[in-house]
Amino acid sequence: MAEKKIRESWGSRLGIIMAVAGSAVGLGNFLRFPAKAAANGGGAFMIPYFIALLFLGIPLMWIEWTLGRYGGGFGHGTAPGIFHSLWQKNRFIKYFGVIGIFGPLVIFIYYVFIESWTLAYSFFSLTGRSTSLLDQNSLRSFLSAFQGLEKNQYFHGIGVAYTFFLITFLLNIWVIYYGIRGGIEKLCKWAMPLLFVFGLILLIRVFTLGTPDLSRPDWNIMAGLGFLWNPDFSALKSAKVWMEAAGQIFFTLSVGIGVILTYASYLKKNDDVVLSGLTASMTNEFAEVILGGSIIIPAAFVFFGPVDIKNIAQSGVFNLGFVTMPLVLNKLPFAYLFGFLWFFLLFLAGITSSVSLAQPAVAFLEDEFCITRKRAVTIFSIAAFILCQPAIFFLGRGVVNELDFWGGTFFLVIFATIETVLFVWVFGMDKAWDEIHQGSEMRIPVVYKFIIKYITPLFLFVILGFWFFQEWLPVILLKGVAVADKPYIVATRLGLVVVFVILAILVKIVWRKRRLEEKGRG
């Protein structure tokens, strides 16, 4: 094996904060969060949401920043090497770290296709192709035909969607190719401020909607905010609401995926992870709670009222983003401009997240096989492009939902549990606490030492316990899956097993070479 080369580093603290915030701020902030909040008790949802943020999200953010920086000191940028650095006596722990490469890769292979829709709709808005559609059925047909799920007067196949997928995929690869400082950091430094500018413009426009239908004066923006935020405290009795809130925190902060581990591995030994991690978290929360919670649902309420809004909130994130919001915007003056702002905001949120999802696999190839970034990106591009195809061509068969469940939900919680236990119980809480504060400009309240050691892992075990008690058998047995879709779901699961096994074999090859080198030097 070749000698270890000097690893990249971030150009500035602002760069790493923007990059981690970019990874966290994604489509879910503007689509998933308002839908979950509205469907799970409104303002009452925010109680378990903020509890999960304080006891799960922020602790995991600090854990991952610290683990990544620690592992980077050993030349490791991904979970297998970082886990091995924490527990060198355990020969199997590195294989658990495979999840930290597998999860982001699985999300990437469907996320880029969805991301490409936002770029396409930005173009459709500017050219007026979608702004003339003024009813939900037309917009649904437009979206369905664009996705290749049907043929109608709008599209006759998936060709247009595939063209935008290719453009989006190549843009992702172009950013990744130029590395941490020259690609990802540079993108996030201009994309994140632009995203917030677009979001604030849309927020101001929503808050100045007034009452479009004077015959219904109660259909106004304050009533729309009330629908989203007035608490239904009876919802707190449901374990499902608490699970949904915890899941949203995982989803929105990008913890438990492996991305932050990789990003933080490019930090220097004394770079502050306490303040930087907290700043990135709060930037994401502003995007989600303030912007995401104040645009789409309140705007829809003004036009559709208290009855239809309930169905709209539960209609799914695709309908919210690509049917409901365009319908609202198409009723306004300068619809083409506001449509572009909405969809390009989503595109910026998407691409800053998707490039982060690619980085763990690229970093693994670079760090562990000691190959150039150019070669690592080439290998990743070929593999990822092939793996993207089922999500594109079998979208209507439930493949994307299946990929999202395993990559973006189940393994996310598993990985977070493993890394937390490793950090506080194997590495040791006292040593971990000192490592967190290495180079920090602020001290974490000492109560968090107790929270990170006991409450966070307990929270994770409770989530896993409820899932295994309530959900695992129906999921495994494909309950609720249409008979025609079952072969596609089974094939998807087999494909995921193959990908995981290949990654585990690559880890085995790396460590076998390392042992042989150590014997040779001895």
10-residue averages of pLDDT along the chain (522 residues) = 68 92 91 85 88 95 96 94 93 95 96 97 95 90 94 93 98 97 96 96 91 80 86 83 85 90 94 94 93 89 82 79 91 94 97 97 95 96 98 95 89 93 96 96 95 95 84 84 94 97 97 84 67
Q: Pick the closest to residue 404 from 103, 116, 26 (CA basis).
A: 103
Using the structure block, give the residue that is written with the tokens 């999802």.
357
Cα–Cα distance, 505 to 80 (Å, whole number): 12
Packing angle between helix 373-393 and helix 486-521, nearest 10 degrees?
Answer: 160
Residue 58 belongs to what H/E stretch?
helix 58-72
C-alpha 140 chain-centroid distance: 25
- Residue 84 structure tokens: 């091995």
C-alpha 4 chain-centroid distance: 31
Cα Rg, the chain, nearest whole Å: 23
Q: Which CATH number fits domain 13-521: 1.10.4160, 3.40.50, 2.40.128, 1.10.8?
A: 1.10.4160
Give the burial string for 51-68 (b: 16+ CB within 10 Å, else e). bbbebbbbbbbbbbbbbb
Cα–Cα distance, 362 to 209 (Å, whole number): 46
- What is the pLDDT at residue 2? 44
- What is the pLDDT at residue 100? 96
Output DSSP code: residue 153.
S
> Please, which residues have CB within 8 angstroms of residue 173's CB and are 6 or more apart in sequence?
358, 377, 381
Q: Pick the closest to residue 263 from 511, 452, 10, 440 (CA basis).
A: 10
Give the burial string for 403-432 (b: 16+ CB within 10 Å, else e). bbebbbbbbbbbbbbbbbebbbeebeeeeb
Number of C-beta neighbours around residue 297 at 10 A: 27
Q: Is residue 59 within 8 Å of residue 250, measured between CB atoms?
A: no
- Residue 507 structure tokens: 């880890």
- What is the pLDDT at residue 4? 52
Domain boundaries, the chain: 13-521
Q: Is residue 266 within 8 Å of residue 9, measured between CB atoms?
A: yes
Q: Is residue 121 within 8 Å of residue 440, measured between CB atoms?
A: no
Cα–Cα distance, 504 to 406 (Å, whole number): 17
pTM: 0.94
